[in-house]
Amino acid sequence: MGLWESFKIALISIWNHKIRSLLTMLGIIIGVGAVIIIVAIGEGAKEKIKDELFSTDKNAIELYSEPIPPEDGEEEMDSYWEEPIITDQMLEELKSVQGVKSVVGTNQGWGTMMYGEKEGEMEITGVDDNYFSALHIQIVEGRAFSKRDSDTNRIAMIDTVARETFFKESEKAIGEIVDINGSPYKIVGVYESPIPEQYRWAENGEMLMPRTLVSLMFGSPEVANVSILAEDADTISETGMMAADKLTELVGSEDVMYTASSMAEFEEELDTYYGTMTLFIGGIAAISLLVGGIGVMNIMLVSVTERTSEIGLRKAIGASRGRILLQFLIEAVTLTSLGGLLGLGFAATVSFIISQATEFHAVISIPVVIIGIAFSAFIGIVFGIIPANKASKLNPIEALRYE
């Protein structure tokens, strides 16, 4: 009797005891389904957070200054150091670094914005005209800044949150005059902020101004923060280090050096965190697979007892011990594999419902599906070997006389 015949006999046996087989597979179904669902939820939540935090700045690298450590290692580094002055010419030279796609220089401040009877604190970011194309800022109304805008033009742009906060009852915000720290400014554009609302500091929204204007308003450097965008995410670390070394060389400071920090580092940390949590919770869920395996072994022992006469007859007409062993192993593997497939269907259904009912999409991992079904088949082998071995060792004469 070949493998196909053994498989058909296994299916017939399972079908003839449908309720018993289903109850036996229940542990496998729940175990495989739970593992796939937990991993799918973890992957979906991780992808959602990554999209919210890193979608715009995935290839962005921030260059920040820190004191140069002493060579002898004995002197303590100063907790305060004077920030080097960064010029537009330095930003232009940074673009020549291999792998650098764009360079963005910004500065910041906070101000109180008033319009009519409404008032609120605003985070103000100073930018140049390159900022919008580099970070793919979407202009909703009006226009972005241009090279023609100078520090004498008191202009500003607000994000969609500020538009809703201050101009909800107005048909338009473009051209309106607002008061910021006691001075009038004209709104020239409304933009879609790249930062998700739940991760912003200013609840009233954000504002952009030409960085020369922000420098005059707050007495801050015209370029306080430098970020570069890498051409290739795969070489983002190397590009960041080369850009940091280049900026250190350009500022020529004896006390300060620049280093790079990219979103890729945070993304890796997030992957590690979610991977550990998913593995831990999935491991707990996988315990039900072991429970299901014990149930399979129990029901296969019962099956051997019920089919003792059949085993004796097959051995009497020439079936070898290996054939009997293989038959019951195939039946156990078929039982657990069917449980794994039903668990996959259960997981797919639950994942679909979760995706429809929540804000994130549960992502079913193909490798996890393959591992889950393969593991369920492996459980069939492990827990089926004892019943199969028992069946193969039956004495044909005693088995035929068994009632």
pLDDT in tens, 280-291: 776 776 677 777
Give DSSP secondary structure letters for 220-275.
--S--EEEEEES-GGGHHHHHHHHHHHHHHHHT-SSEEEEEEEHHHHHHHHHHHHH
Q: Are residues 106 and 232 in the same domain?
A: yes
Q: How far apart are CA 154 and CA 163, in angstroms?
A: 18
Residues 6+ apart with CB under 8 A from 389: 325
Q: Are residues 247 and 272 in the same domain?
A: no
Q: Are residues 235 and 96 in the same domain?
A: yes
Per-residue pLDDT averaged across 143-157, rounded? 82
Residue numbers of the domain that contains 344:
3-53+268-400
Burial of 341 (0-12, 13-18, 19+ CB in 10 A): middle
Domain end residue (candidates: 218, 252, 286): 252
pTM of the predicted model, to two decimals? 0.57
Let me know if residue 260 belongs to a domain: no
Q: How far apart are CA 394 and CA 126, in angstroms?
A: 86
Q: Are residues 96 and 245 in the same domain?
A: yes
Let me know if residue 73 belongs to a domain: no
Q: Are residues 299 and 238 in the same domain?
A: no
pLDDT at residue 14, as a whole number: 77
Q: For 184-198, how does the pLDDT look when each residue is reduced to its tens digit (9 = 90+)?
A: 999 999 998 766 665
Are the CB atoms for 313 and 403 separated by under 8 Å?
A: no
Q: Is the pLDDT of residue 403 over 70?
A: no
Q: How far apart are CA 50 and CA 276, in angstroms?
A: 17
Are the CB atoms for 398 and 309 separated by under 8 Å?
A: no
Let me know if residue 59 belongs to a domain: no
Q: Are residues 377 and 312 in the same domain?
A: yes
Q: Is the pLDDT of residue 1 over 60?
A: no
Let me know if residue 303 belongs to a domain: yes
Q: Are residues 308 and 248 in the same domain?
A: no
Q: What total number of domains does the chain contain?
A: 2
Q: Are residues 315 and 361 in the same domain?
A: yes
Domain end residue (candidates: 203, 218, 252): 252
Are the CB atoms for 11 and 334 separated by under 8 Å?
A: yes
Q: For 243-277, how does the pLDDT look when each residue is reduced to its tens digit (9 = 90+)?
A: 889 999 998 887 788 888 755 566 666 667 767 77
Residues 6+ apart with CB under 8 A from 73: none
Q: Are residues 204 and 294 in the same domain?
A: no
Let me know if residue 80 belongs to a domain: no
Residues counted in the chain: 403
Q: Are residues 330 and 287 in the same domain?
A: yes
Q: Are residues 43 and 112 in the same domain?
A: no
Q: Are residues 227 and 295 in the same domain?
A: no
Let me know if residue 69 belongs to a domain: no
Are the CB atoms for 246 and 94 separated by under 8 Å?
A: yes
